[in-house]
Structure 1
Amino acid sequence: MKNISTTNSLTPSPHNVLDSNDNIPKTPKSPFSSKILMSPLASPMKKALTYMEEIGHLTKLNDPQDDWLPITESRSGNAYYAAFHTLSSGIGVQVLLLPLAFVTLGWVWGIISLSLVFIWQLYTLWLLIQLHESAPGLRYSRYLRLSMAAFGEKLGKILALLPTMYLSGGTCVTLIIIGGSTMKIFFQTVGAYNTPVSTIEWYLVFTVSAIVLAQLPNLNSIAGISLIGSLSAVTYCTITWVISIVKGRPQDVSFETVENKSDVARICSILNALGMIAFAFRGHNLVLEIQGTMPSSLKSPSHVPMWKGVKFSYSIIALCLFPLAIGGYWAYGNLVRTFTIWIVYIT
């Protein structure tokens, strides 16, 4: 009996355990912690932190696949690079058709249409910039990814792949034709060679030059080339409308709206003029990729410097497009048809 009682006395009871734990010194707590945790703000704060952790706002925004793709491999872009790339991609030879659109629309509707399309261009660019990081923890640097996120994987591929492919192919063909023809005219003007070179050969020269340029590692590495392209585009737009105004109007200039023989022809002319104005605006195809070259975090999202670059570049674009359209139509009137046909012919 003594052994049994001794054994029982050595077995700790629950009460003894609690008593022994009470003697262990505990980490001192702040006297204000219990009050804060018991306050009405504690529960919403915990829920907010949990929600932010779940949706990924506290994680670094990054797409692992973009780390090795050539265009978005570098994340060192800034607002200046965005301005150069956007300005270079936003002005093209299509702006020379703007005075021709005024021949059909006239002064009032021509300016109104040009202004509305310009506002719509800025609005859609702003939408794309915001959608680039619309999903927490993801960056949509390409239209295919954005389309798949918006419409689902299957439907998104169907809606995005075909337009991307034929627009990219059409853009490449157009650039080769314009670039090769321009190089031919330039070398003929400066007299840099005596041996005649065919237009097809100049297309080949331009294509090879583009292939060599494409070997650069990422989009940020051609920021200097985008700067040169931006300066060139602004220069030829400015020279075009300044010379048109300074040189003065030719004889027999008329600003009367051209009347068509039938209502169908009139509607087609109006639609054609609106198409010329819409065709002068471009650059949506590169917005997501340009923004994808910028660093992004919760405190410094990429849409802030991107929007700054877009606003600066499109202020310059507006100073090129509106004077060119208004000044060209003021200088040539309905005779701008002949002027535009000559421009299209040499390009």
Structure 2
Amino acid sequence: MAEQHFQLEVHESGLNPHKVANGEFDDDGKPSRTGNLWTTSAHIITAIIGSGVLSLAWCVAQLGWVVGVATLLIFSLITLYTSNLLADCYRSPDPATGKRNYTYTDAVKTNLGGAMYVACGIVQYANLCGMVIGYTITASISMVAIKKSNCYHNRGREAQCSFSNNPYMIGLGIVEIFLSQIPDFHKLSMLSIVAAFMSFGYSFIGMGLAFAKVVSGGGQRTTMTGVEVGIDISAAEKTWRMFQAFGDIAFAFSYSQLLIEIQDTLKSSKPENKVMKKANVMALLTTTTFYMMCGCFGYAAFGDRAPGNLLTGFGFYEPFWLVDMANIFIVVHLVGAYQVFSQPVFSAVESWANMRWSKSTFVMGEYPIAIGNKFKFNANFFRLTWRTIFVILATTLAMALPFFNDILALLGAIGYWPLTVFFPVEMYIAKRRIRRWTNRWLGLQLINVVCFLVALAATCGSIQGLSKAFNAYKPFQAKE
């Protein structure tokens, strides 16, 4: 059956079967994919371990040891389970031999229909664009933190060290304009591997500094229930913070909006869903280990006063060179993560343009350029123009909205439940034709409802934080 399906796809693609057999092209007519378990895991780790890992100490401080650790473990398991469901949706109807779905929205359209396809597209691309803008802000904060660290080291911790983020956002935008010309996910492997190593680097530094503070006797008082209601915090503020912490932890495990696109880079020699499930396990095991250590060591070191970011929030001032190195790692990681999150947006717009203006040389023309004997790439005028405009717009919005991290938290809270839980669960139910009110159906819907309630609570917490940010809103005047 699998062999018959393979021959049918080769026939429909119009390819010479010998070229497919020789490995020049895959069964769908596209150049042979080269991804493997390691490159796929690197893409996932680059996407999932953002600089938000350094805020987990604050999250655990709001929730306490019991709820904080349990929340990290529960959302890790939920994400692994739903990601494996989604991996089976790459091919339809059979997850090993069916027709490929190249994007998340393609999988939703195939399994759930046109209305769900539109809804998924709106949520997914809003989320991806929000991440790109948020990463621009976060990277600039780390760049400013390097300058502030040196300022505090030279002038003392009480010095007034405040610098504008805008020049750093502009510099990052210029770098991303060049990197955005990487044509697609298939060419991002090396950048993702470098970014993944950078995430390990700054996570180890954050954990190491926190661990050193604890073992040296400088750790602060912690409790089983987290930040205590009293003079510094009201019961209402405690509740809002807990909601936000739930949302931050849930969102920290979210990468489903990229999963199908990442899976499409895998070689066809083995069923892609099996390799993807191994990559899910490897990446989430690695991620959860880092999250647990960063969150727990950070809380043990700072107690209720855990900063929102261990490295840019100046939980640590010395050794200043090590803090600077960690922030450099954050910047390099976010440069790569920017491209991982923007590639699906680039692909969607360019696929639409290719269908709309299929005879235009501006849109379709590829012009080979060689620099030396080794560095060769294809230039495309539409790709150059539109991606440059996208980066400029993202940079401008990041500069205009200094409170955009609060908006990003809102986008994350809204996007987590549908993209990580609802659509994978509903597609699995549709593919397997699971009947209503059976035990399996009830179990899946229980996950759906619980995650929806968490997302709703996180949304409320984000809106409350956003209302505070608006009170101090000064466009193009973000300072750290």
TM-score by length of structure 2 reads 0.52
Count of aligned pairs between the two proteins = 283
Paired residue for 2:244? Answer: 272
- Please give the residue correspondences for 1:324-335 in structure 2 after superposition, counting only pairs within 5 Å: 324-335=294-305
How much does 1:91 deviate?
Answer: 0.2
Q: Which runs of 5+ in 2 are unaligned?
A: 14-24, 152-161, 315-404, 406-477
Q: Which amino acid aligns with 1:112?
A: A
Does residue 177 (structure 1) correspond to residue 137 (structure 2)? The answer is yes
Identify the match of residue 206 of structure 1 among 172, 184, 193.
Answer: 172
How much does 1:213 deviate?
Answer: 1.1
Rate the CA distance shift 1:168–1:254 in 2: closer, same or farther, 3 A: closer
Q: Which amino acid aligns with 1:102?
A: V
For residues 91-134 of structure 1, give each alpha carbon's deviation from its aligned partner in whole angstroms, at most 9, with x where no partner exists: 01111221212223211111111100010111121111111113
Paired residue for 2:218? Answer: 250
Identity over aligned pairs, percent: 22
Paired residue for 1:163? Answer: 123
Does residue 226 (structure 1) correspond to residue 226 (structure 2)? The answer is no
How much does 1:220 deviate?
Answer: 2.8
How much does 1:180 deviate?
Answer: 3.0
Does residue 320 (structure 1) correspond to residue 286 (structure 2)? The answer is no
Between the aligned partners of 2:309 and 2:186, the Cα distance in structure 1 is 38
How much does 1:174 deviate?
Answer: 0.6
Does residue 342 (structure 1) correspond to residue 313 (structure 2)? The answer is yes
Q: Which structure: larger Rg?
A: 1
For residues 69-111 of structure 1, give each alpha carbon's deviation from its aligned partner in whole angstroms, at most 9, with x where no partner exists: xxx8651111121111111111011112212122232111111
Between the aligned partners of 1:61 and 1:265, the Cα distance in structure 2 is 60
Q: Which runs of 5+ in 1 are unaligned?
A: 1-48
Q: Secondary structure at the match of 2:301?
A: helix
Does residue 288 (structure 1) correspond to residue 260 (structure 2)? The answer is yes
How much does 1:227 deviate?
Answer: 1.0
Rate the CA distance shift 1:141–1:222 in 2: closer, same or farther, 3 A: same
Q: Secondary structure at the match of 2:175?
A: helix
RMSD between aligned alpha carbons? 3.4
Does residue 143 (structure 1) correspond to residue 104 (structure 2)? The answer is yes
TM-score by length of structure 1 reads 0.71
Does residue 134 (structure 1) correspond to residue 134 (structure 2)? The answer is no
Paired residue for 1:24? Answer: none
Q: Which amino acid aligns with 1:88?
A: T
Identify the match of residue 215 of structure 1 among 165, 174, 181.
Answer: 181
Between the aligned partners of 1:247 and 1:62, the Cα distance in structure 2 is 64
Between the aligned partners of 1:260 and 1:62, the Cα distance in structure 2 is 68
Q: Which amino acid aligns with 1:325?
A: G
- Is contact 2:60-2:295 (8 Å) kept? yes
Between the aligned partners of 1:203 and 1:74, the Cα distance in structure 2 is 37
- Please give the residue correspondences for 1:103-122 in structure 2 after superposition, counting only pairs within 5 Å: 103-122=61-80
Q: Which amino acid aligns with 1:142?
A: T
